[in-house]
Structure 1
Amino acid sequence: MRVAKSVMVAGLLTQGVMGAPNVLFIAVDDLNTEVGFLGDAHAKTPNMDRLAEQSVVFRRAYCQSPICGPSRNSLLTGRYPHHTGLYSLDPMFRDVEALEDVVSLPQHFRKNGYWSATVGKIYHSKPDPESFDTNHGWMGAFGPFPEKTIHLDSELPVHPYYDWGAFLEDEETADYKVAQSACGFIEKAAKTDQPFFISVGFFRPHCPMYAPQKWFDLHPLEDIVPLPDQSADLKDIPAYGKKLIRYFGRQDYNRFLRENNRAASFLQAYRACVSFTDHCIGQVLDALEKSGQADNTIVVLFGDHGVQNGKKNLWYKRTLWEASTQVPLLIKPAGNSVLQTVQTPVGLIDIYPTLCELAGLEQPAGLEGTSLAGLMRGEKQVRAPVLSVFGPDNFALRSDRWRYIRYADGAEELYDHRNDPDERTNLALNPENASVLDEFRPQVPKHSEPFAPGSSGLGSGAFPGK
């Protein structure tokens, strides 16, 4: 694991060594913190790890919503979900009349002279034509699918998307095609004098967790030990919190995995998909090196939200707990730098203003994040707790030590990460923590916008159909 350093070479965070810095913007769907550069002992992610060796590693980065659509809308517009009403998978911000003139992150760079190209999943539902000069699409996205599900039984009432297993060869997958397209973008852009902003979105490890067999072989099933049953962790979770995430309905999937002894193979599939995506990322990084543009390119890599993978007997995202909200975040500045690991909690909403500062661009009006460039330079900063949102009036605040959750009905959760990193004990009802609660309560937003017109896909018991 890389040793943190606190000094950076001055002057290399705002300008590339060859002029206006390029940007390579890499999004990975459902990537949690089970990666090598964040210390996971089981991960096999050599390409992300080598990028981490050249980057500032944000060890405590958090999404602004634990579900694809609102997370991506938030980080790409620089606005919080409770201010836009974008809580659900749909709509995209551009389809909301009040937001249609918002300047997105890649659009801002495009307006400032950058060639903007995209392939794969960057926006959730469809690409934004205002953001890109060139769009190569989703390359098949989450498919193709086998004729029959591999691990799911017909008795389990869930969508076939929740299947997993070894399927296809590398060249047949969407993520391989995405990587090849991105490599072509880099090769083309390197032959021009125009700076580029290339957005690359990988689909795995999002379900269905299919990957070629060789990536499963990297993670032998006999070496995988799932977390034990965590039913006891239910006792101090507020009733509204359980309703919000459809907790009891989601236990059908949990029971299926545990009673059929399939939890280990589920985790094997997740790790295999991460390793395969890491391989695809490596191809893109190799193309950047080969192009001669690596020293003049800012590289950003992030997961759009985490996943539970068995924590609290849940297996996917859509919670306000640590497992669903914490994400990997790497930022490699242009130029040669002495790098560090940042422990301060930060948000994906901070990416937009950070890239503006690193590239020397003025920020457009309306951004709600705070640039991370100062932290990247090793400056000490006092920052507010990171805010995550899941539906109107449901908020989580993450400080250096604490996670505080306040639900729409006023119920609360409080976890001490110094002593309880797995969030097993809710301290909100403990009178000894009254002063901590008094510190967080005034920082909870006082107002949430209603669901934007056309909202669908939140999948919450508290907001069905929204």
Structure 2
Amino acid sequence: MLARALLQLYLFNLFLFPVELKPNFLFIVVDDLRPALGCYKDPNAYTPNIDKLAKNSFLFNRAYAQQSLCAPSRNSFLTSRRPDTLLLYDFNNYWRDSKDKNFTTLPQYLKEKGGYVTKSIGKIFHPGISSNYSDDSPYSWSEIPFHPFTNKYKNAPVCFDDSSYLNNPASNLVCPVNVSTTPGGILPDMEILEAAKTFLNHQQSNENPFLLAVGFEKPHIPLKYPSHFKSYHPLDKFIDIKNYSWPKNINNIAYNPWIDLRKRHDIKLLNLNFPWEKISMNYAKKIIQSYYSAVSYIDYLIGILIKQLRILKLDTNTIIILTSDHGWSLGEHGLWAKYSNFDVALRVPLIISLPDDDKLLINNKNDNEYKFIKNNKITRINSIVELVDLFPTITEFAEIPIPICSIVDKSQIINNNNPCSEGISIVPVIAAAIANNSTNITWKKAAFSQYPRPSLEPMLKPNSDEPKLNEIKFMGYTVRTKRFRYTAWLKFNQNKKKSNWNKFIAEELYDHNFDPNEIFNQQNNDSYRKIKQKIKKLLKNGWRKALP
């Protein structure tokens, strides 16, 4: 405890900012972004601006979402409550509607406890009923949240396909565009950038610290982006998808039939049999090309946003955090989109950039003092972290820490007056990385996630990808340790809104040491029997038992 306190004292007093100042936060959430970034060593990526941000920053190699669906994931990390606590697994409910689920949010906490100006621009909470059609205003935000005017044209028929599929514009999945000819002559993420720049311009004379949450909407489908970004991703650079088929040793309950893609005009024209027929490899590569092009487009906008922060000299007291709400499958297992418990759907990028980012603090072992040194490399941290950890991390940086939720203190159930977190601050991990020049810091034993299903086999109705709460019959719980991923599919009791841990439908166990793509299910392999029982117990015991 003393070592941790000393590290934090040095971190706050010597490294981050003068003790009398609270840091600003630029919180960037990129929708549906897997770690398809150069700084994450993705060979297909072209992301020079995010890569530049990652230099002298802390890059977490093992960061995981709690559910691979937009609204539940965002509800989870913005309240630091897990899906089973919120009972929000879909888009159709608002957590404040329930008397015992009136949870405090991250921006609300910063606003009320720390005097922060909080602003939401773009997609932070999921729009619609899941945030009360208001982005949880006025609770969470000091100002009215901003959404782009051109979002009304999100699914407009403006897409041209240069193949033989279409001669007229349509509502496609693959949708490179000439921006000047689109409705409004601008795209939503461009509007989001301009609104964020305007907010920053107003903060130069503001004495209060701020949380600016910027939610970029791409690469969420449709994959609509300025067509010139495709030049960074020629089609011939993408090789055939490895393991482009559903493994025979995995139960069908784990399959997501990517229904949202099937609604797009270009995918409809492929005349695929539901649910198993695959998209042809040629068109699959076009989807992948457009995903990476959309990521490069967002990278360009992020570069402009960070440049504006520096022009205004706000960067000297602003912590930048970049992440996503979940990952996205690009043909792995024959799957597309999110909606699963596989690593590719749950692993997200997480980059934390601290002020004065051309310096790092290290310990001089000879004289037991801390000194600044120049550093031009990424600090890659391999500790397991979760998106629910963001709330307590940010509040600890702001010096208004939030406690971990107690299973004894029932007053924390309604936590507006007694807020708590189901994650844990990762500030000590960052401090240890700085002090010890180490990236392999012992921390959480595992990350916990889950996904619901309405049936044992993939279905259109009810929707296997996005079941409503009253349609859920099974719940898949998954735990990711350093080496393994274990998933258990259980019966879900609709009346009690709980899963039955005595009714196992299927199990999965993957050894990432030799199977990083999670193709070979080892759950029936006798040589893994003891390991499986150990990890199964870890999953059943829950997240508290996995804390450092």
**Shorter-chain TM-score: which interval?**
0.7 to 0.9
- Give the number of aligned pairs: 433
Q: How far is the alpha carbon of 1:299 from its aligned partner?
A: 0.8
Q: Are 1:406 and 2:521 an aligned pair? A: no
Q: How far is the alpha carbon of 1:256 from its aligned partner?
A: 6.0
> Could you say which residue in structure 2 is the equivalent of 1:241?
254
Q: How far is the alpha carbon of 1:142 from its aligned partner?
A: 7.4
> Could you say which residue in structure 1 is the equivalent of 2:66?
64
- Is this contact kept in 2: 1:107–1:132, CA < 8 A? yes
Q: 1:273 aligns with which of 294, 303, 321?
A: 294
1:15 and 1:147 map into 2 onto residues whose CA distance is 48
2:541 and 2:161 map into 1 onto residues whose CA distance is 45
> Could you say which residue in structure 2 is the equivalent of 1:354?
393
Q: Are 1:427 and 2:522 an aligned pair? A: yes
Give CA deviations for 1:183-208 in whole Å, capped at 9, x if unaligned.
11111112211100101000000000
- Is this contact kept in 1: 2:258–2:336, CA < 8 A? no
Residues 226/11 of structure 1: CA separation in 2 closer, same or farther (3 Å cut): same
Q: How far is the alpha carbon of 1:295 from its aligned partner?
A: 1.7
> Could you say which residue in structure 1 is the equivalent of 2:140?
131
> Could you say which residue in structure 1 is the equivalent of 2:110?
109
- Is this contact kept in 1: 2:122–2:192, CA < 8 A? yes
Give CA deviations for 1:424-465 in whole Å, capped at 9, x if unaligned.
111111011111111111222479xxxxxxxxxxxxxxxxxx
Q: Which amino acid aligns with 1:310?
A: G
SS of match in other structure, 1:54: coil
- Is this contact kept in 2: 1:320–1:388, CA < 8 A? yes
> Could you say which residue in structure 2 is the equivalent of 1:344?
383
Report which stretch shifted further, 54-63 or 374-383: 374-383
> Could you say which residue in structure 2 is the equivalent of 1:460?
none
SS of match in other structure, 2:27: strand
Q: How far is the alpha carbon of 1:99 from its aligned partner?
A: 1.9
Q: How far is the alpha carbon of 1:162 from its aligned partner?
A: 5.9
Residues 254/265 of structure 1: CA separation in 2 closer, same or farther (3 Å cut): farther
Q: Which amino acid aligns with 1:349?
A: V
SS of match in other structure, 2:490: coil
Q: Which amino acid aligns with 1:174?
A: P
- Is this contact kept in 1: 2:49–2:300, CA < 8 A? yes
- Is this contact kept in 2: 1:120–1:203, CA < 8 A? yes
> Could you say which residue in structure 1 is the equivalent of 2:91?
89
> Could you say which residue in structure 2 is the equivalent of 1:444?
539
SS of match in other structure, 1:69: helix
Residues 248/27 of structure 1: CA separation in 2 closer, same or farther (3 Å cut): closer
Matches within 5 A, 1:242-257: 242=255, 245-246=256-257, 252=274, 255=277, 257=279
> Could you say which residue in structure 2 is the equivalent of 1:458?
none
1:285 and 1:295 map into 2 onto residues whose CA distance is 12
Report which stretch shifted further, 72-81 or 180-189: 180-189
> Could you say which residue in structure 2 is the equivalent of 1:220?
234
Residues 187/71 of structure 1: CA separation in 2 closer, same or farther (3 Å cut): same
Give CA deviations for 1:237-281 in whole Å, capped at 9, x if unaligned.
024323xx348998748746317x211111111011000001111
Q: Which amino acid aligns with 1:137?
A: F
- Is this contact kept in 1: 2:159–2:176, CA < 8 A? no
Q: Are 1:11 and 2:6 an aligned pair? A: no
> Could you say which residue in structure 2 is the equivalent of 1:210?
224
Give CA deviations for 1:33-61 in whole Å, capped at 9, x if unaligned.
11111001111111111111132100111
2:209 and 2:53 map into 1 onto residues whose CA distance is 21
> Could you say which residue in structure 2 is the equivalent of 1:293?
314
Q: Which amino acid aligns with 1:167?
A: V
Residues 412/254 of structure 1: CA separation in 2 closer, same or farther (3 Å cut): closer
> Could you say which residue in structure 2 is the equivalent of 1:334?
355
1:120 and 1:332 map into 2 onto residues whose CA distance is 21
Report which stretch shifted further, 183-192 or 321-330: 183-192
Residues 149/255 of structure 1: CA separation in 2 closer, same or farther (3 Å cut): farther
% same residue: 28
Q: Which amino acid aligns with 1:108?
A: Y
* TM-score normalised by length of structure 1: 0.86
> Could you say which residue in structure 2 is the equivalent of 1:186?
200
2:510 and 2:93 map into 1 onto residues whose CA distance is 33
Superposed CA RMSD in Å reads 2.8
Q: 1:143 aligns with which of 153, 164, 170?
A: 153
- Is this contact kept in 2: 1:161–1:207, CA < 8 A? no
- Is this contact kept in 2: 1:210–1:273, CA < 8 A? yes
- Is this contact kept in 1: 2:116–2:211, CA < 8 A? yes
- Is this contact kept in 2: 1:23–1:298, CA < 8 A? yes
Q: How far is the alpha carbon of 1:149 from its aligned partner?
A: 4.9
* TM-score normalised by length of structure 2: 0.74
Bigger radius of gyration, 1 or 2?
Answer: 2
Matches within 5 A, 1:377-388: 377-378=431-432, 380-388=441-449
Residues 219/247 of structure 1: CA separation in 2 closer, same or farther (3 Å cut): closer
1:136 and 1:70 map into 2 onto residues whose CA distance is 19
- Is this contact kept in 2: 1:394–1:406, CA < 8 A? yes
Q: How far is the alpha carbon of 1:305 from its aligned partner?
A: 0.5
1:431 and 1:142 map into 2 onto residues whose CA distance is 55
Residues 359/254 of structure 1: CA separation in 2 closer, same or farther (3 Å cut): farther
Q: Are 1:262 and 2:299 an aligned pair? A: no
Residues 271/200 of structure 1: CA separation in 2 closer, same or farther (3 Å cut): same
Structure 2 residue ranges without an equivalent (≥5): 1-6, 128-132, 263-272, 361-377, 403-417, 434-440, 453-473, 492-503, 543-548
- Is this contact kept in 2: 1:29–1:201, CA < 8 A? yes
1:190 and 1:246 map into 2 onto residues whose CA distance is 48
Structure 1 residue ranges without an equivalent (≥5): 1-6, 448-466
> Could you say which residue in structure 1 is the equivalent of 2:500?
none
Q: Which amino acid aligns with 1:257?
A: I
1:34 and 1:62 map into 2 onto residues whose CA distance is 15
> Could you say which residue in structure 2 is the equivalent of 1:461?
none
SS of match in other structure, 1:11: helix
Residues 360/143 of structure 1: CA separation in 2 closer, same or farther (3 Å cut): same
1:396 and 1:201 map into 2 onto residues whose CA distance is 27
Q: How far is the alpha carbon of 1:97 from its aligned partner?
A: 3.6
Residues 108/401 of structure 1: CA separation in 2 closer, same or farther (3 Å cut): same
Q: How far is the alpha carbon of 1:92 from its aligned partner?
A: 3.2
Q: How far is the alpha carbon of 1:228 from its aligned partner?
A: 4.3
Report which stretch shifted further, 432-441 or 374-383: 374-383
> Could you say which residue in structure 2 is the equivalent of 1:311?
332
Q: How far is the alpha carbon of 1:315 from its aligned partner?
A: 1.3
